[in-house]
Structure 1
Amino acid sequence: MPGDEDEKSTAQATRILELLWRHALPSKPGARGPKPGLAVDDVVAAGITLADRDGIDKLTIRAVAAELGLRAMSLYTYVPSKDALIVLMVDAVAATDTPIPTGVAVRERMIAIATQLRTELIEHPWLLEVSPWRQVLGPARMRRYERQLSAIDGIGLSDLAMDRAIAVLTDFATGNARLAVAAAGAAAQLSDADWWEVNGPLLAQVMPADEFPLAGRVGTTVGEHYQAPADPDGAFHYGVAILVDGILGET
């Protein structure tokens, strides 16, 4: 029945929020909890370790339980599902944020916002596989948002513009991080220099120069300069500076 499904969804959402804000909520008298000796934080940390090492595709309740030396069923005492665990993991990673510099110009603070997000995604590539849409906000992600807003508050942007500025910086950092992670994965199999040494001359042979005059010229220059198909790090520094200057130009 639809009513039963709605109640189930509400119960699941409530449980996830309670877990996210577990350190802020008072304990319920007489409530049955997990067995002593292990905490939800331990389960979340084990999930992050496994996802960092093996990727999110390998993240299962059974695998996390094995990481902790437990039986799979016992893990449900701590987290109700894999989806709930991932929500907790995302918030736990955000809790490791370093403070955004305060004694610098707003331009540097905005660049720091994007740089921090990009670094997090490169260090935890599985985050790129987690949908950010309707992502439940836990205390760490709310504190991050508060710090990000504080970094640009008072510079002449409206509330809506401040939110959009952070969203644009986040989207740019995410897209670039995705490219950087892909580049690192490819380089682990074959170095960029070796790849270009093989593919560069072959491309020059098969690509009609008169059909792609600009692509051929610019592509050759770029390939020889980077010794790679692209330069994610350089593109980030170049792009984020222009992006921030554009946002500040609206103030």
Structure 2
Amino acid sequence: MTTRDADPARTLLELLWRHELPPRKGGRGPRQTVSVDDVVTAAVGLADREGYDKVSIRAVAAELSLRPMSLYTYVPSKDALTVLMVDAVAAADTPIPADLPPRGRLAAVARQIRDEFLAHPWLFEVPAWRMVLGPGRMRRYERQLAAVDGIGLDDPGMDRVIAVLTQFATGNARTALAAARSVREQSDADWWEVYGPVLSEVMPAADYPLSARVGAVVGELYQAPGDPAGDFEYGLQRLIDAILPG
């Protein structure tokens, strides 16, 4: 076993940056019939369809018509595969147009993050803190920095703006996904049919006048218990108002 093979951190970094490194020579074992890219694409597709808990070395191998043990010649573990999956999703980001005004660029940063979580809900199950940085995530960070560059912030401020926009977008995406699941399980009309009469007894409008008034207005407006997409747009504009100087 070589030093490179014995160092998990180096192995993972070499997998992440595989397209920027020269190909390894003289590998042992059977000739590979697919690529690491194929393995990662299959894993992301599986997670998108069935959820992160369904992703395993055996399941991904089956997606590619490979024997489970042969998948270890591509990735050393599910944890390593997860890092590659997250970076592949980030690599799919489209550039933020440089000719957008500052408000548009800041909004694009947040919308891109929100859209990513809505498209890949399994990302919520993946620990994000201290994830190993690959080319996809680094390219995203560079583009996000370019989006906030020139609006009057110092370097720490630029980083904090990206973090705040990311956290806001991520939280809203989580709420939106939960709302969508709830509607699939039970419609708002069905929910009120079951619980409305009881709520009228235990929560008389006279005791909660503001809640009754505002709740009636927004219920008619949203035709749902809430409006995560509208909340996102409203909150994003208020957040950008606070970020932009002047």
Alignment of 1:1-251 (within 5 A): 11-32=7-28, 35-196=31-192, 198-249=194-245
Task: Name the amino acid aligned to 2:74.
Answer: Y
CA drift at 1:188: 1.8
CA drift at 1:207: 1.1
Q: d(CA) in 2 for partners of 1:180 and 1:230?
A: 9
TM-score by length of 2: 0.92
Q: Which runs of 5+ in 1 are unaligned?
A: 1-6
Q: d(CA) in 1 for partners of 2:127 and 2:110?
A: 18
Q: Is the 8 A contact 1:196 1:227 kept in 2?
A: no
Q: d(CA) in 2 for partners of 1:147 and 1:34?
A: 40
TM-score by length of 1: 0.90
Distance 1:33 1:204, change over 3 A: farther
Q: Deviations over 1:67-110 (max 9, x none)?
A: 11112111111111111111000010111111112222111100
Q: Deviations over 1:39-86 (max 9, x none)?
A: 001110110011001101111111111111112111111111111111
Q: d(CA) in 1 for partners of 2:153 and 2:77?
A: 41
Q: Is the 8 A contact 1:34 1:78 kept in 2?
A: no
Q: d(CA) in 2 for partners of 1:219 and 1:48?
A: 40
CA drift at 1:28: 2.8
Q: Is the 8 A contact 1:196 1:229 kept in 2?
A: no
Q: Is the 8 A contact 1:44 1:89 kept in 2?
A: yes
Q: d(CA) in 2 for partners of 1:229 and 1:220?
A: 10
Q: d(CA) in 2 for partners of 1:165 and 1:192?
A: 36
> How many residue pairs end up in the alignment?
243
Task: Name the amino acid aligned to 2:43.
Answer: G
Q: Which runs of 5+ in 2 are unaligned?
A: none
Secondary structure of the 1:111 match is helix
